[in-house]
């Protein structure tokens, strides 16, 4: 039974990572109505910036993470302000611009760092070992940091004016505008927050798993799936869905193996999208 619990714990830590990842994405979609195709690219950028800060600048890992994440956030802020703002009302143009940015970022990483995975390790090694189970300390640390970050986001969303305004925006852009909440000023900041979350996830997870320029796409797909399951635009829903996906994935890779689990998950997501587009917890603005 220990293996079962271990898989469960891995699942939870995976879930926390996914939650962090999905949070940024759902903020974008729920609040700005924007599908951010560059989300996966920011994850990769977070990983590479951290790697660069550690290897080239010699910074200790925690400092490197902070520097990398802030830089990525700045990048996101500027991108939104300069490139997206003029066309933010046009969902197609916004989508294409984020897609274009994803392609540009990925290629830039490829050009600067080369196609091979660099040697990038989590600074803390070792694990909790026991009868038939094995939980690396890294997973636990990332779990803790993810939990903190998620908590911070909840605080921001529910206790600050900024967060309240964002939530009102998510409820109905038109109504909020009529009440004098001005969307435009908040967008670059909101985008920057989403970028920071993606980059943070990348900074923490890539040293544990893998760092390569082309990871962005699978990260993006995972984010899509979680956000759809949990309800596009629902932060609570995305968090719960993230843990569900993490746990399911942990167990299915142990007990099922192969991509059958992934296929099943995708099909479930597709079914949900067409049958109940607001997912498990999403809001009602789907129809119009």
Partner 1 sequence: MTAVAEDRFPRADWELRIENISKNFGGLQLFRDLSFVLDAGNIMGVIGPNGAGKTTLINVICGQLPLSSGKIYLGKRDVTGLPPHTLSRLGLVRSFQQTNTFKLATVRENLMRAMRFAGSGPDTWNLIDDLLDAYELKARLDEVSDSLPYGLQKMLGLLLAYVTKPKVLLLDEPAAGLEQRERGNVDRLVMHAQENIGCSILIIEHDMELIRRLCPHIIVLDAGNVLAAGAPDEVLSTRSVIDAYVGRSDDDD
Partner 2 sequence: MGAFVARIGRAELACIVLSVLAFSVPFLTHDRLFYSISNQIMIAVIAAFSVFIMLRMNLISFAVPAFMAIGGYAAAIAARNGLTDVFALMAIAFAFPALVALPLGALVLRLRGVYFVLVTYILSEILQLFLFETPGLTGGSNGIAGIPAATFFGISLGRYEYVLLTTAGILLLATVITAATTRYYGQQFSAIEENEVLAQSLGLVVWRYKVIGFVIAGGVAGLGGYALVTMLLTAHPSSFSSFSGVSYITYAIVGGRTSILGPVVGSTILVWASNLFSSQAQYSQGLFGVLIVFVIFAAKGGIVGTAEYWLKRWLRKRSDPGAGDDLAPVGRSKDAA
The DSSP annotation for 94-118 comes to: HHHHHHHHHHHHHHHHHHHH-SSPP
Instruction: For residue 178, state whether it binds partner 1 (rule: CB under 8 A).
Output: yes
How far apart CA 103 and CA 39 sit, in angstroms, is 11
Instruction: For residue 185, state whether it binds partner 1 (rule: CB under 8 A).
Output: no
Tell me which of partner 1, partner 2, none is bound by residue 167, counting a contact when its beta carbon lies within the kind-specific cut-off of 5 to 8 angstroms.
partner 1
Q: Which helix (H) or strand (E) holds 173?
A: helix 173-178
Instruction: For residue 119, state whether it binds partner 1 (rule: CB under 8 A).
Output: no
Tell me which of partner 2, partner 1, none is bound by residue 171, counting a contact when its beta carbon lies within the kind-specific cut-off of 5 to 8 angstroms.
partner 1
Among 175, 264, 267, 271, binds partner 1 (CB under 8 A): 175
Minimum Å gap between C-beta 102 and partner 2 is: 7
Instruction: For residue 125, state whether it binds partner 1 (rule: CB under 8 A).
Output: no
How far apart CA 5 and CA 251 sit, in angstroms, is 10
Instruction: For residue 90, state whether it binds partner 1 (rule: CB under 8 A).
Output: no
DSSP code of residue 80: I
Stretch that binds partner 1, among 112-120, 172-180, 214-222, 257-265 (CB under 8 A): 172-180
- Smaller CB distance to partner 2: residue 151 or 277? 277
Minimum Å gap between C-beta 223 and partner 2 is: 11
Tell me which of partner 2, partner 1, none is bound by residue 155, counting a contact when its beta carbon lies within the kind-specific cut-off of 5 to 8 angstroms.
none
How many C-beta atoms surround the C-beta of residue 259 within 10 A?
12
User: Which tokens is 91 given?
Assistant: 């969902």
User: Which tokens is 189 given?
Assistant: 């900041």
Instruction: For residue 173, state whether it binds partner 1 (rule: CB under 8 A).
Output: no
How far apart CA 64 and CA 12 sit, in angstroms, is 26
Among 9, 141, 172, 181, binds partner 1 (CB under 8 A): 172
How far apart CA 163 and CA 246 sit, in angstroms, is 27
How far apart CA 269 and CA 186 sit, in angstroms, is 31
Give the residues lining the site for partner 1 (CB under 8 A).
Answer: 167-168, 170-172, 174-175, 178-179, 283-284, 287-288
């Amino acid at each position: 039974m220990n293996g079962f619990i271990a898989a469960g714990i891995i699942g939870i830590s995976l879930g926390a990572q996914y939650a962090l990842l999905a949070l940024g994405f759902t903020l974008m979609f729920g609040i700005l109505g924007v599908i951010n195709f560059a989300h996966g690219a920011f994850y990769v950028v977070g990983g590479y910036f951290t790697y660069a800060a550690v290897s080239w600048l010699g910074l200790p890992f925690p400092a490197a993470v902070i520097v990398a994440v802030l830089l990525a956030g700045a990048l996101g802020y500027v991108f939104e302000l300069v490139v997206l703002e003029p066309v933010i009302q046009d969902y197609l143009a916004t989508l294409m611009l984020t897609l274009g940015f994803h392609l540009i970022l990925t290629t830039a990483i490829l050009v600067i760092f080369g196609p091979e995975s660099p040697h990038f390790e989590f600074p803390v090694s070792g694990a909790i070992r026991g009868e038939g189970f094995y939980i690396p300390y890294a997973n636990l640390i990332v779990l803790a940091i993810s939990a903190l970050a998620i908590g911070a986001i909840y605080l921001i969303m529910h206790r600050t004016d900024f967060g309240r305004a964002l939530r009102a925006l998510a409820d109905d852009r038109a109504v909020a505008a009529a009440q004098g909440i001005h969307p435009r000023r908040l967008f670059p900041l909101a985008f920057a927050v989403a970028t920071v979350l993606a980059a943070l996830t990348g900074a923490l997870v890539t040293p544990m798993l893998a760092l390569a320029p082309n990871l962005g796409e699978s990260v993006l797909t995972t984010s899509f799936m979680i956000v759809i399951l949990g309800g596009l635009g629902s932060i609570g829903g995305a968090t719960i869905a993230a843990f569900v996906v993490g746990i399911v994935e942990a167990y299915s890779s142990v007990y099922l193996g192969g991509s059958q689990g992934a296929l099943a998950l995708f099909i479930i997501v597709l079914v949900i999208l067409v049958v109940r587009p607001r997912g498990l917890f999403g809001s009602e603005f789907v129809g119009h």
